[in-house]
Structure 1
Amino acid sequence: MNKKASQPRAIYYVVALQIWEYFSFYGMRALLILYLTNQLKYDDNHAYELFSAYCSLVYVTPILGGFLADKLLGNRMAVMIGACLMAIGHLVLGASEIAPTFLYLSLAIIVCGYGLFKSNISCLLGELYEPQDPRRDGGFSLLYAAGNVGSIVAPIACGYVQEEYSWAMGFALAAIGMLAGLIIFLCGNRHFTHTAGVNHSALRARTFALPNWSWLLVLLVVAPLGITVLFWKEWSVYALIAATLIGFAVLTKIYRQAQTQKQRKELGLIVTLTLFSMLFWAFAQQGGSSISLYIDRFVDRGILGYDVPTAMFQSVNAFAVMLCGVVLAWLVKESIGGNRTVRIWGKFALGLGLMSAGFCILTLSARWSATYGHSSMPLMITGLAVMGFAELFIDPVAMSQITRIEIPGVTGVLTGIYMLLSGAIANYLAGVIADQTSQGAFDASGAINYSIDAYINVFSQITWGALACVGVVLVIWLYQAVRVRNRMAVAEL
C-alpha cells in the first residue's frame, strides 16, 4: 500500500482547528454590527467606525504574529496561544452586554489572537510536507474547504442562539467553538513532534538586560491594551497609515531588487491586481455592515411564521463560494495555451462584473423596500449569492500570480502586503462607504427612522463604481490581447 496516497494524520487536527476557528470568528462577526446597534444602541456612524476598525486590524496583526512564530514560538505554539486569546476575547465580549466597558478590550484580545493564529496555521500545515510532496496542494485545498464549512455553519448557529437566548450566549457559543477546536488539536499533539517547536535558546537570550521570554509576556499584555486604546480613541486609522507606509517602503525596496524587466513587469502586475482587489473588497465587505443592517431593517425575513435571524444571512456568501467553487473546478480547466496575463485580466473583469450585478440586485431590493415597505428574502439571497460567486475570480487569481513571481524570497512579503491592502485598507474604506447609509431622522417617540433612500443611493453607487472598474480592466485586457496578437504576428514573419 502506498503511504503517500493519503494525507498525513496531523492534517486532520489542523483542519478541525481551522473549522472551529472560522466558526468562532465568523459567528461573532455576523453578530457584531447588530449587537452594536440593537443592544448597545450605538448610532450607525459609531457602529460602522468600530466595526471597520476591528475588521481592519485583524489583517494587520498577522504580520507581527508571523514574526513571533518565526523567531520565538514556532507555528504550533503560536496557533495554540492565538486560539486561547480568541476564546477569551469572545467570552469577554459576551460580558460586555452587562458591562459595555469590556467591548473594546474584548475586540482587542480577539485581534491579537487572530494575529497569532491566522498566518501561522497555514505555515504549520506547510511543515507537514516535504518541499516536493505531491500531497501539499491537496492539503491546502482541504484546509480552504474546511474554513468554508465553519463560516457557513457559524452565522446560523450563533444567530439562532442569540435570537433564542441572548447576545452573551451567541458570543459564548463562538468561544466554545474555538475551545472545542483547540481541545481536538491538542489530542493530536503526538502527530506534530516533527514540526518546529518553541525556540528555547532564543527565548532565553537577553535583549536590553531582560530575557526575550519576559519581553514576550510584556507584549502579550501590552498589545491588547494598546489596541484597546486605538478602539477607544478611534485612532486605528493612524495604525493603518503607518502599516501602509511601511508596506509601500518594502514594495519599493523589492522593486529595486528586481534584476530583469520581466520581474519588474510581474511586480507591476501584482501591484495593479492588488489595487483592484482592494476596491473589490471595499464593496464586498458591505455584507457584514451596511447590508446586514439593511436586511435587519427592510427585508421581510418571515418564513412559515418564523423570522429568520439577520445574522444567518451571513452564511449565504460562504455557501455560494463553496458551491460555486466546486462547480467551477469541475467545469473549467485552466488552459495551457494563450497568454496568462490576458486570462488574469479576463477573470478580474468577470469578478468585478459579478460584484456589480450583485449590488444591482440589492439596489432593486432596496427600491422594492421603498415602494412596498419591505423587500423579499429570495431577492436578497440571490444578490448575496452572486457577490459570493464573484470572490472566486479575485483572491485566488491574485494569490496565484504572487506565488509565480520569479524574484526570490519575496513571496511571503508580497502576500502580507496584499492582505494589508485588500484586507485592512479595504475594510477601512468599507466603513467609509457604509457610513453613507447612516442617514435618518427622529420620530415623535424619539426613535430614529433610517432612510431607505440612503441604501438605494449607496448600493446604486457601488453598482456603477464596480462597473467602472470593469471598464478599466477591460481596457487593460484588450491592450494585453492586442500586444499578444501583434507579437505573434511578428513571430510568424
Structure 2
Amino acid sequence: MINSSPGTSQTRSITQTSISQTRSFTTVSLIEMWERFGYYGMAALLVLFMIDKIGFADDHANLTWGAFTALVFSAPSIGGWIGDKVLGARRTMIAGAIVLACGYLMLALPVDTLGFMYASLGVIVVGNGLFKSNAANLVRRIFEGDDARIDSAFTIYYMAVNIGSTFSMLATPWIKDHWGWHAAFAVCCGGMLLGLLNFALLRRSLAHVGSAPDDEPLRGSRVFAVIAGSLALAASTVFILQHKQVAVACVYAAGVAILAIFGFMLKTCDRSERAGLIAALILTLQVILFFVFYQQMSTSLTLFALRNVDPAFSIGGIALFTWSAAQFQALNPIWIMVLSPLLAFVYARQARRGRDMPVAAKYALGFVVVAIGFFVFGLSGRYAVEGRVSSWFMVAGYGLYSFGELLVSGLGLAMIARYVPARMGGFMMGAFFVATGVSQYLGSVVANFARMPAGNLDAAQSLPLYTHLFFGLGWLAAGGAVVAIALLPLLGKLSRAHQQATQAASRRESLAPAPISLNAKNV
C-alpha cells in the first residue's frame, strides 16, 4: 500500500476546508443578497411614499425615516444576543427572514393609513433585528482564524449585498411608476421569499456553521420568549415613530448603551483582548460619522434628484435613457459592484505579500474620498441649467462616495471580526449596528438643513439649499479624515498589541497537553 505524504494530506485538508468555506459563504451571501433586495427596494421608495401618499412634509419624512433606520440598525444588537445565547445564529437568521417577508407583505397591501404604515415598519424592524447581525456573524465564523481572507471575504459579501440592492432600486421605482406603490412593495416581499427558498436548497452547506444553541434541541419556552419580545419591539417601534421626542431620547440612550457595552466588555475581557477592543471602539466611532453621510442617499440626495437633477442621461446631446428620482440611489450599489472585486483582489494580493494596509488607514482614505464626492455634488450647482444639474454629476459623486463606503462601512464588519474575540462576536456585531443606527438618525437631522420651506419652490430656488448642505458635508468628511489620520499611530500600536496577544494565545493552545479522558480503559 502506498501512503500519501503528510504534505499531500495537509494540502488536501486545506483545499477541502477552502471549498467548504466557499460553499458556506455562498449560501449566506445569497440569502443576504435577497434580503437586501427587499430592504433597499423599500428604502428607495419610503421617503417619497410618505411625502406623496401619507402627506408628510420633507422634514417629517426625513426624521421618520431616520428614526426607522436607527431602529432597524439598532435591533440587531438584540438579535445578535438571541443568536449567540438563545436560538442559535442560523435559526435566528431564518426567523428574521420570515418576519421581514411579512413586513414587506404588509406594505404591499393597499392600505394607506398612517397607523398601518407604522405597524408594517415595526414588523420590518423586528425582522431585521433577528436577521442582520446573525448573517454577518455566520460569515465571521466561516472564516474564523483566517485573517488573510477575512477582509477580502467581507468585501465580496458587501458586493453580494449590493447586487440585490442594485436590481431592487432600479426595479421598484419603475414598477411604482407603472403599477403603483403597493405593487413595488410586493416585489420586495417576493425577493425575501426567494431568499428563503434559496436557503432551503443550500442549507446543508451551513449545517456545521453556527453558534452553540444551533446544535441544541429547540426549546418551546425560548421560542415563546423571543416571540413575546418581538411583539413588544414592534409595538415600541410604532410608539417611537409617532413621537419625535421619544425617538430623540432613544438615540441618546443608544449612544450611551454603545459606550456601556464597550465598557463592560473592556472590564470583563482578558488583558490580552483589551487592545483589540479599544481599537474596535475607536473605529466604530469613525463608522458613526460615516453613516451620517450614508443616510443622505435616501434623504437629501434623493430629494435633490427629484427637484434639481436632469433625469435624462445624455452624451453629445443624444439622450440615452431616463431615470426617476428614486432610481438614482441605484448608482451606489452599481459602483459598489464595480469596485468590490477590484478592492478584494488588491486586499488579497497585499495580504499574500505581507503588505496589507491597516484597517485604520483604509478608514482614513475612505473619509478623504467621501469628502471629494460631496464636493462634487456641491460643485454641480455651478453648472446647473434652469436649476437642474447634469445626471453625470450624480454618477461621479456617487462613484467617489461609494469607494469611500467600501473603505469604511464595507470593512466595518471585518473590523469587528478581526479585533473582537469570537465569544463576543454576535453581541459586538449587534453593538456595531446600534452605532450605525444612531448615526442614521443624526444623518436625517443633517439632511433637514436642506428642508424645503413652506410653499413650493422652483428648481432655481431649491438648488442652493442642497448645494450648501453638500459643501458642508464635504468639509465634515474632510475633518473626519484629519482625525482618522491623526489616530493612525495609536491604532497601529493597538493593532500590533492585539496581534501579539493573539499569536501568544495561539502558541499556548498549541503547546497545551490534550485532556485525558477518564473512561474504563484509562482506569
In the TM superposition, what is the alpha-carbon distance from 1:217 to its structure 2 partner? 3.2
Amino acid at match of 1:33: V
Correspondent of 2:230 among 220, 225, 249? 220
In the TM superposition, what is the alpha-carbon distance from 1:470 to its structure 2 partner? 2.1
**How far, CA to CA, are the matches of 2:51 and 2:372 in structure 1?**
29
- Of 39-48 and 234-243, the range deviating more from structure 2: 234-243
**For 1:317, what is the secondary structure of its paired residue?**
helix
Q: How does 1:417-432 map to 2 (within 5 A)?
A: 417-421=431-435, 423-432=436-445
Correspondent of 1:183 among 181, 186, 197? 197
Q: How does 1:195-234 map to 2 (within 5 A)?
A: 203-204=219-220, 211-234=221-244
Match of 1:150 in 2: 164
Match of 1:334 in 2: 350
Match of 2:72 in 1: 58
Distance 1:267 1:66, change over 3 A: closer
Compute the TM-score of the two structures, normalised by the length of structure 2: 0.79
Q: Deviations over 1:77-128 (max 9, x none)?
A: 3222212211121121233653343110111111101111112223445666
Match of 1:94 in 2: 108
In the TM superposition, what is the alpha-carbon distance from 1:263 to its structure 2 partner? 5.5
Residues 1:357 and 2:372 aligned together: yes
Amino acid at match of 2:247: S
Residues 1:300 and 2:333 aligned together: no
**How far, CA to CA, are the matches of 1:406 and 1:126 in structure 2?**
11
**How far, CA to CA, are the matches of 1:339 and 1:193 in structure 2?**
35
CA RMSD in angstroms, aligned pairs only: 3.6
Residues 1:285 and 2:292 aligned together: no
**How far, CA to CA, are the matches of 1:215 and 1:169 in structure 2?**
34
Amino acid at match of 1:252: G
Given that 1:108 and 1:228 are in contact with CA atoms closer than 8 Å, whether structure 2 keeps it comes out as yes
Correspondent of 1:440 among 434, 440, 453? 453
Match of 1:386 in 2: 400
Match of 2:497 in 1: none
**How far, CA to CA, are the matches of 1:266 and 1:184 in structure 2?**
36
In the TM superposition, what is the alpha-carbon distance from 1:155 to its structure 2 partner? 0.3
Given that 2:78 and 2:430 are in contact with CA atoms closer than 8 Å, whether structure 1 keeps it comes out as no
Distance 1:294 1:194, change over 3 A: same
Given that 1:54 and 1:107 are in contact with CA atoms closer than 8 Å, whether structure 2 keeps it comes out as yes
Amino acid at match of 2:119: L
Distance 1:221 1:141, change over 3 A: same
Amino acid at match of 1:353: V
Given that 2:388 and 2:459 are in contact with CA atoms closer than 8 Å, whether structure 1 keeps it comes out as no
Distance 1:401 1:223, change over 3 A: closer
**For 1:58, what is the secondary structure of its paired residue?**
helix
Match of 2:4 in 1: none
Distance 1:302 1:248, change over 3 A: same
The runs of 5 or more residues in structure 2 that have no matched partner are: 1-11, 314-318, 494-523
Match of 1:321 in 2: 336
**How far, CA to CA, are the matches of 2:208 and 2:490 in structure 1?**
50
**How far, CA to CA, are the matches of 2:207 and 2:490 in structure 1?**
53
**How far, CA to CA, are the matches of 1:476 and 1:133 in structure 2?**
23
Amino acid at match of 1:287: M
Compute the TM-score of the two structures, normalised by the length of structure 1: 0.84
Distance 1:253 1:6, change over 3 A: closer
Amino acid at match of 2:366: G
**How far, CA to CA, are the matches of 2:355 and 2:346 in structure 1?**
20
**How far, CA to CA, are the matches of 2:114 and 2:375 in structure 1?**
38
Match of 2:37 in 1: 23
Residues 1:45 and 2:45 aligned together: no
In the TM superposition, what is the alpha-carbon distance from 1:282 to its structure 2 partner? 0.6
**For 1:451, what is the secondary structure of its paired residue?**
helix
In the TM superposition, what is the alpha-carbon distance from 1:200 to its structure 2 partner? 7.3
Match of 1:207 in 2: none
Amino acid at match of 2:30: A
Amino acid at match of 2:450: T
**For 1:442, what is the secondary structure of its paired residue?**
coil
Match of 2:327 in 1: 312
In the TM superposition, what is the alpha-carbon distance from 1:459 to its structure 2 partner? 0.8
**How far, CA to CA, are the matches of 2:355 and 2:141 in structure 1?**
34
In the TM superposition, what is the alpha-carbon distance from 1:478 to its structure 2 partner? 7.4
Given that 2:151 and 2:414 are in contact with CA atoms closer than 8 Å, whether structure 1 keeps it comes out as no
In the TM superposition, what is the alpha-carbon distance from 1:21 to its structure 2 partner? 0.8
**How far, CA to CA, are the matches of 2:96 and 2:112 in structure 1?**
26
Given that 1:96 and 1:103 are in contact with CA atoms closer than 8 Å, whether structure 2 keeps it comes out as no
Distance 1:476 1:313, change over 3 A: same
Amino acid at match of 2:350: E
Q: Deviations over 1:25-67 (max 9, x none)?
A: 1111111111112332210111011100111111111122222
In the TM superposition, what is the alpha-carbon distance from 1:69 to its structure 2 partner? 2.7
**How far, CA to CA, are the matches of 1:344 and 1:65 in structure 2?**
26
Given that 1:299 and 1:377 are in contact with CA atoms closer than 8 Å, whether structure 2 keeps it comes out as yes
Correspondent of 1:467 among 478, 488, 491? 478
Given that 1:72 and 1:202 are in contact with CA atoms closer than 8 Å, whether structure 2 keeps it comes out as no
Given that 1:21 and 1:177 are in contact with CA atoms closer than 8 Å, whether structure 2 keeps it comes out as yes
**How far, CA to CA, are the matches of 1:195 and 1:408 in structure 2?**
13
Q: Deviations over 1:267-318 (max 9, x none)?
A: 4433222222211221222111110110011101024385312222112111
Given that 1:72 and 1:200 are in contact with CA atoms closer than 8 Å, whether structure 2 keeps it comes out as no
**How far, CA to CA, are the matches of 1:77 and 1:258 in structure 2?**
28
Aligned residue pairs: how many?
A: 472
Given that 2:77 and 2:431 are in contact with CA atoms closer than 8 Å, whether structure 1 keeps it comes out as no
Distance 1:306 1:148, change over 3 A: closer
Given that 1:359 and 1:383 are in contact with CA atoms closer than 8 Å, whether structure 2 keeps it comes out as yes
Distance 1:184 1:270, change over 3 A: closer
Correspondent of 1:457 among 458, 468, 477? 468
Distance 1:213 1:318, change over 3 A: closer
Given that 1:85 and 1:112 are in contact with CA atoms closer than 8 Å, whether structure 2 keeps it comes out as yes
**How far, CA to CA, are the matches of 1:412 and 1:9 in structure 2?**
21
Amino acid at match of 1:73: L
Q: Deviations over 1:186-224 (max 9, x none)?
A: 2345555556676876734xxxxxx44433333333321
The runs of 5 or more residues in structure 1 that have no matched partner are: 205-210, 483-493
Q: How does 1:261-272 map to 2 (within 5 A)?
A: 264-272=274-282
- Of 431-440 and 393-402, the range deviating more from structure 2: 393-402
**For 2:441, what is the secondary structure of its paired residue?**
helix
